[in-house]
Every structure is written in C-alpha cells, then in structure tokens.
Amino acid sequence: MGETNSKGKKEGKKGEKHSKKVSKAHKEGKEKLRHDPNDDIAKYYEVTDKVLGLGNFSQVKMGIDKESGEQVAIKIVDKSSVKHKPEMLTNEVDILLQVDHPNIIKLLDLFNCDKYLYLVMELVTGGELFDRIVEREQYSERDAKEVMKQLFSSIDYIHSKGIVHRDLKPENLLLEDDDNDTKIKMTDFGLSKIYSQEFMMSTACGTPGYVAPEILNCGGYDPAVDMWSAGVIMYILLCGYPPFYSENDAQLFESILEANYHFHSPYWDDVSTEAKDLIKKLLVVDPKDRLTAKQALEAAWFKTNTENSSNPLPKDMKDKLVRHNTERKDKSRTNITAKPAKK
C-alpha cells in the first residue's frame, strides 16, 4: 500500500517537490562520508568474521578502519534479497545520510558494490537498554527519566527532518558503551519513512505491542505513531511489563485500539503522578491529542524531582522485566497483518 494525501490522491507535483528536497539532503549527506561510495571497501576497512547481529536481509559484522584502527559496525545487505523491495534499502540509506544527533546511530561510510551494500556505522558496545536494566542491582525513576529525555530528543530531531521511525521498540535502543547505563542510541531505520506534511502514510508496519492505533485502523497516519511507541517504552521502563499484552494478536490489537491499559497496584504505587500523567498524554487513541516530542520534553515530569525518584524501583519490577525481555526476544519482527477482534 502506498502513501496518499489527505484527500486520498496519489502523490503528484507536491510529492515530486518533496523528493527533490530528499535528493538534495542525500547529496549533502554523501559529502560527509569518509570515502567514495563507489570505491572498494577492502581498501579502507577489514571486515572481520565476528557477527554482531542478524536481520532478515542483512548481517552486521565487526570492522576495523585500516588507517586508524577504529572498530566499527558494518551492515552487509545482500542486494538480491531486497530486489523486490528496493525502497526498503534506499529509505534507510537516505535517512542515515541525513541524520546527525548524539542519540542516533551514525553512518560513517557506505560502499555500493555489485552484490552487496556495506553500511559502515559507529560501533556501540553497551548492548540493548533493557538488558542493562535487568543486569543492574538498582534502577530508578530518575534513570528512566534520563533515558526518555534522550528518546524524546531524538524523536523530535528526526521529525524535524521529515522522518518517522515507525518501529520504535526496546531492540532499537542501544547503549553507547559498558560504562554508561543511560546513554542511548536509536537504531534500525529499515521501516522508517521520509514523509511530507501533504501526504499521509498508510503502509501497515511495526511491531505488535508497540504499534499505534491509527496504523491498525488501516487509515492514514503521521509521525505521531512514534510518540505512541515512546509511551509504551516509557510504561515498560517504569514497571517492567508492557501496557498491552496478549498471546492473541487480534485481542492485543483490540486493547491497543481502545487504549485499554492500567497502572496496577502495587507496581505503580511508588511511581510519580507526573510520570503517569505523561504516559496518559502519550497513549492517546486520537493522534491529534497525543503530545509531540517537543511537548513531551516540556512535561512536568522532567522539571520535578520527587522524593523517591532516586530510590530503586521494586524488585518485582525487575523480575517482570526479565520475563518480558525473554518473551520479546523469542519473537522476531513482524509486520502488522492481523485484524482486530470483532466485538
């Protein structure tokens, strides 16, 4: 399903104008790369056998800059595996070329070869955010606040650049290194989209549990979908379990469509009122009433130091997060295809 404007018409002259802006940004982004994209990667980097991650169409390996000795992450995309969906590849490249933010993974180089596309990115070694939380002996609301401030800042940045992520979830929040427990990096722009205000997105995509209601409704949607996902992440950070959960996708989607979630006792008893208020303004069914990232950064939660904000969250919270962490890793990324249950 393609993208349409607010009247349902396919993209026309305004869309072409937007595409030209994207092309200009793409050209400017290429000028920031270290080397010529048409050159041979082997001249500049050693691609080791160490696999850092696997995707549906790619794998990420450890690389070494031959001149400086710097360790990097190299995403290797088999071009034949995406030949029927070339936009997936071009979208991610276009976006990575445009972004430059301290909380977003940075593209250092790219090499466009016959069979493979190599994306050379900064190496982050701290692992997934949620993994670190369950490893720590203490985790507080203040820590959650620090993480969310960075997440909202990065969302505000990409939205200002005309980019919507569309797949924000714990797997896509990595820690910079082993020495910092809260410095995050947003990653994986494979489902992201460069959008125009004149045209609503309509492709059903995302991850069950984090997807916004308007996507499930199969209508047009806009960048507000990222703020819904951020609300889900914030909820989990503060209690250890997701606001929407069911083994049955149809039932899960029904609860999302109705924003049917609760702040259960005793798990939420010690969480501040300001934190709950912010979540309530993010997990809103109507995207027009949902806070933007810029508005979220101005929330009272970030300006208020409650007495217990530095106290460790209950052990039960960590136990629940361990279970949630294990369950979500057992499930691979899934495009939204199931229909909500009928009432």
List the domain range (segments joined by +) for residue 98.
Answer: 29-122
Q: Phi and psi dihedrals of 253, rounded to 5?
A: -65, -35
Please report whether residue 45 resides in a domain.
yes
pLDDT band at 109 (very low <50, low <70, confident <90, very high): very high
Which of 93, 122, 151 is the last residue before a domain boundary?
122
Long-range contacts of 243-249 (CB under 8 A, 24+ apart): 243/283, 244/209, 245/209, 248/341, 249/208, 249/338
Shared domain for 224 and 185, answered yes or no, is yes
CA distance 61 to 26: 25
Which of 82, 106, 122 is the last residue before a domain boundary?
122
Strands 107-112 and 4-5: unpaired
User: Are 213 and 259 contacting, i.e. CB atoms less than 8 angstroms apart?
Assistant: yes
- The CATH number of the domain holding residue 184 is 1.10.510.10
Active site residue 78: no
| pLDDT tens-digit readout, 217-266 | 877 788 999 999 999 999 998 888 899 988 888 999 999 999 999 999 88
Shared domain for 114 and 237, answered yes or no, is no
Shared domain for 180 and 107, answered yes or no, is no
Shared domain for 58 and 156, answered yes or no, is no
Tokens matching residue 57: 């169409």
User: Are 107 and 120 contacting, i.e. CB atoms less than 8 angstroms apart?
Assistant: yes
* Structure-model confidence comparison of residues 199 and 65, the more confident one: 65
Shared domain for 266 and 309, answered yes or no, is yes
| pLDDT tens-digit readout, 188-214 | 888 888 776 555 565 656 688 999 999
Please report whether residue 338 resides in a domain.
no
Shared domain for 255 and 145, answered yes or no, is yes
Query: For position 333, what pLDDT does the model report?
Result: 46
Please report whether residue 189 resides in a domain.
yes
Shared domain for 102 and 168, answered yes or no, is no
Find, among 135, 192, 204, the residue nearest to 161 by Cα: 192
Percent of the chain scoring above 90 in pLDDT:
49
Structural domain count of the chain: 2
The 3-state DSSP class for residue 53 equals: strand
Shared domain for 115 and 195, answered yes or no, is no
CA distance 126 to 181: 8
| pLDDT tens-digit readout, 277-305 | 999 999 999 999 999 999 999 999 999 88
Residue of 167, 181, 188, 226 marked active site: 167
Shared domain for 54 and 154, answered yes or no, is no
Shared domain for 153 and 52, answered yes or no, is no
The 3-state DSSP class for residue 214 equals: helix
CA distance 225 to 166: 7
**For the packed helices 86-98 and 13-30, what is the interaxial angle rounded to 10 degrees?**
60
Q: What is the pTM of this model?
A: 0.83
How many residues make up the chain in this entry?
A: 343
User: Are 198 and 15 contacting, i.e. CB atoms less than 8 angstroms apart?
Assistant: yes
| pLDDT tens-digit readout, 77-99 | 998 887 777 777 778 888 999 99
Please report whether residue 2 resides in a domain.
no
Query: For position 43, what pLDDT does the model report?
Result: 96
- Mean pLDDT for the chain? 83
Please report whether residue 107 resides in a domain.
yes
CA distance 140 to 322: 16
Shared domain for 138 and 55, answered yes or no, is no
- The CATH number of the domain holding residue 83 is 3.30.200.20
Which of 122, 152, 184 is the last residue before a domain boundary?
122
Q: Enumerate residues 6+ apart whose C-beta is below 8 A from 282.
A: 227, 228, 230, 231, 234, 290, 291, 296
User: Are 136 and 144 contacting, i.e. CB atoms less than 8 angstroms apart?
Assistant: no
Shared domain for 211 and 66, answered yes or no, is no
